[in-house]
Amino acid sequence: MITRASSTPLAVFLVESLKKSAALLRHGEQLHSLAAKSGLLSSNLFVRNSLLSFYSRAAPPLAHHLFDEIPPPLRDATAHNILLSALARAGRPHRAWCLLAEMPRRDAVSYTTVIAALSHAGRPRRAMAVFRDMLAEAVRPNEVTLAEVLKVSTCDGAAASVGAAHGVAVRCGLDGFVVVATNLVHAYGVVADVRSASSIFELMPDRNTVTWNAMLNCYVKAGMIDMAAVVFREIPEKDGVSWLTMIDGYIRADFLPQALRTYVAMTGMMGIRGNEVMLVGLLKACSRHTAVSEGQQLHTVILKNGFDAHAFVQATLIHFYGSCDFLDEAQMQFKLSDKSHVASWNALMASLLRRNLVHEARQLFDDMPERDTISWSSLISGYIQNGNSNMALQIFCLMRDAGIEPNEITLASVLSAVANSGTLEQARWIHNYIIGRSFQLTDNLIAGLINVYAKCGSVSDAIQLFNHVKDKSFSVSPWNAIISNLAIHGYAIMALELFSQLQHTNIRPNSITYIGVLNACCHAGMVAEGKRHFESMRMEYGIQPEIKHYGCMVDLFCRAGYLEEAEQLIKMMPMKADVVVWGYPGFEKTEH
C-alpha cells in the first residue's frame, strides 16, 4: 500500500510497474535506473523495497547487492524480510538464520520465513530453536508460523513436541484457523496420536479437502481401515489425494478387492488417472494374492500410460510374474527392462530362487553389472532354503570382502546359516561381527543369536545373552527364541519359568510362544500344566490353536499314555489332522 507521502506519480508508476514486471530482468533494470536518476531509490522506502522485492524474484544476487547498498538506518523490517525470503528460495537457510540474528527488529514474518527455510532444508532442531527464540522475544506467531512449526514438530516422532506447539496455538488463539487445525490433525497423525487428531477434527466448524485428507491419512497410517473408509465416504469434494490415500490404505491392510474397486471407481467415475507409485502398490498386492488376471490388467494400464519406462515399475512387473509362477513372462519382462538398474536383476533372481533354481540364480548373480545388499542377501537366503548353509556363509564372506554392507535381513539369514551348520566358534564370530560393526541389536537379531548359540551347543551363552537384553526388548521374539530352545534342550522348567516372567511384562505372547510352552510341558510330562496353557492361550490372549499346537498336545497325551484323550482331541480339531498329528507313537495301530 502506498501512503500519501510516497504517492508521487512517478513513485506510483515505479511500484506498480515493478509488480507487473514479474521476472523480466531487463525491464526491472530500466525501472531501477529511472528510480536512481529520480532520487526515489534513496528517498522513497516503497520504491526501494519494491525494487528489492523484484530482484529477489528475478535475480537474487542483485537483491543482495542492492540490500548491501542501502544504508543500515534505512533498512526496515520489510527490506530484511524480502532478503530473508530470497535466501530461503535460494536454498541458503544458514545465511537466512545469520541475517535474522543481525536484524535490529524482527517480526512474525521474519521468524516464519527462517523457520520454513530451516524446515525445508531438513534442520528441524534449528527451526524449533528459532521458534523458541521468537517466543522468548515475545513476538506473537501467526497462523502461518504455527503451520510451519507443526510440520517441524513431527520430525522427532514425539507427540510431546506436537503437544507443545498445540499449546502455543491455543494460547495465541490460533487453533481456530483452518490451516492451523488442519496441520494439527496431520501432525498428531504423524506421531500416531489418533485420538487427539480425531478430537481436533470433530471440533472443527470448517473443514476443507486438505483437512479431510489429513484425517483420512491419519486413520490409514494407524491401520484403522474401517474408520478411514467412513471418513472417505463423507468427504464432500474428493480430490486425487483422497482417492490415492484410500487405495493406499486398502493396500496396507491387504484388502486387494477393495483397493481394486476403489481404483476402478477413481479412474472410471472420476476420471483421475492415478500414478505409477499407486499402480506399483496394486501390482505388489496382486503378487501377494497371486491375482494373475487383475495384475495383467494393471500391466496393460501401465503400458498404456507409459509407466513401464520407470525402472522400479519394470522390476515390479518382473516380481509380479515371478510371484505368480509365470517364470517365462518374468524373464521376458527382464529382457525388455533397463539392464542398468539393479532392481530388475534382483527381481528376476528372486523369481528363480522361488522355483529353487539356485544354479540359475547364481549364474544371473555372476552376470550382474553391479550388486547391492539385496542381491547378496537374496542369494544367501536362496542357498539356505536349498539346504546349503555352508555355501551361504561363503557368499557372505565374499560380500564382506566386496565391501558391501549387510542389513538386518542379511544378518538374519547368516544367523540362520550358522545355526544350521555352524560351530560355536562361528556363532561367537558372527556375534562379535555384529557388535564390532555397531549394528543395532534389534529384537529379531537377538532372537537369531539366541537360536544360534542354542543350536551350536551353548545353551548357557543363549541364556546369558537373553538375560542381558530381556529388559530392553520391545517384542516377543527374544522370549520365543529362549523359551523354544530351552524346551528343545530339556530345560522345560526354566522355559516355563521364563514364560511366567513374560506374562508379567507388557509384551504379549503369540502363537509361537505357546508352541515353545507346550513343547516344554511335553518334554517334562506335565499333562495338567499343558492342558492349562492350551486353554489359556484362547481364554486369556485370544490366540486360536493351530495344527502345531494340537500336535504338541497330542504328543503330550501320547507320551503320558493318555491315548483316548489324544484321539478325542483330534476329533475336536477344527482342521483336518495331518501326518504331524497322526504320526506320534501310540497311533500306529489305531484306525485313521
- Where are the domains positioned within the chain? 469-591
The confidence score (pLDDT) of residue 206 equals 93
- Please count the CA atoms within 13 angstroms of the CA of 370 that sit on its side-chain side: 8
Given a contact cutoff of 8 angstroms between Cβ atoms, the answer to whether 476 and 503 are in contact is: no
Question: How would residue 417 be classed by pLDDT, with cut points 50, 70 and 90?
Answer: very high
Spatial distance between the Cα atoms of 77 and 152, rounded to a whole number of angstroms: 25
- Provide the 10 A C-beta neighbour count for residue 231: 23
Band of the pLDDT at 305, cuts 50, 70, 90? very high
| Angular region, 207: left φ>0, alpha ψ -120 to 50, beta rest | beta
User: Which pTM value belongs to this model?
Assistant: 0.78
| 277, three cell numbers | 507409485
Mean pLDDT on 49-62: 77
Q: How far apart are the first and last CA of the chain?
A: 94
Q: For 42-56, 119-133, 228-242, 335-349, which range has the lowest pLDDT when averaged over its residues?
A: 42-56
Q: Which CATH number fits domain 469-591: 3.30.460.10, 1.25.40.10, 3.40.50.720, 1.10.10.10?
A: 1.25.40.10
| Close Cβ partners of 180 (under 8 Å, ≥ 6 residues apart) | 143, 146, 147, 150, 169, 174
pLDDT for res 586: 53
**Mean local confidence (pLDDT), 301-314:** 94
What gap in Å lies between CA 399 and CA 66, rounded to an integer? 57
| Residue 571's pLDDT band (cuts 50, 70, 90) | confident
Helix (H) or strand (E) holding 239: none
Which amino acid appears at position 330 of this protein? Answer: A
Average pLDDT over the chain, rounded to whole? 90
Closest by CA position to 446, among listed 421, 422, 471: 471
pLDDT tens readout for residues 153-177: 887 656 678 898 899 999 999 999 9
Q: Is 542 exposed, middle or buried (0-12, 13-18, 19+ CB in 10 A)?
A: exposed
pLDDT tens track for 451-462: 999 999 999 999
Largest CA distance in the chain: 114
Contacts of 66 (CB under 8 A, 6+ apart): 51, 52, 55
Q: How many of the other CB atoms lie within 10 Å of CB of 428?
A: 17
| pLDDT score for 10 | 77
Helix (H), strand (E), coil (C) string for 119-172: HHCCCHHHHHHHHHHHHHCCCCCCHHHHHHHHHHHCCCCCHHHHHHHHHHHHHC
Lowest mean pLDDT among 111-125, 194-208, 444-458, 514-528: 111-125
Residue with cell 527451526: 127
Using CA atoms, how far residue 159 sits from 116, 187, 192, 227, in Å, is 20, 9, 8, 21
Residues belonging to the chain: 592
Give me the pLDDT at residue 156, please: 65
Q: Please tell me the distance from the alpha carbon of residue 228 to that of residue 230, in angstroms, as a whole number.
A: 5
Residue 225 cell numbers, joined: 481401515
Say if residue 589's pLDDT is above 60. no
Measure the CA–CA gap between 228 and 246, rounded to whole angstroms: 7
In terms of Cα–Cα distance, which of 475, 483, 390 is closest to 441? 475
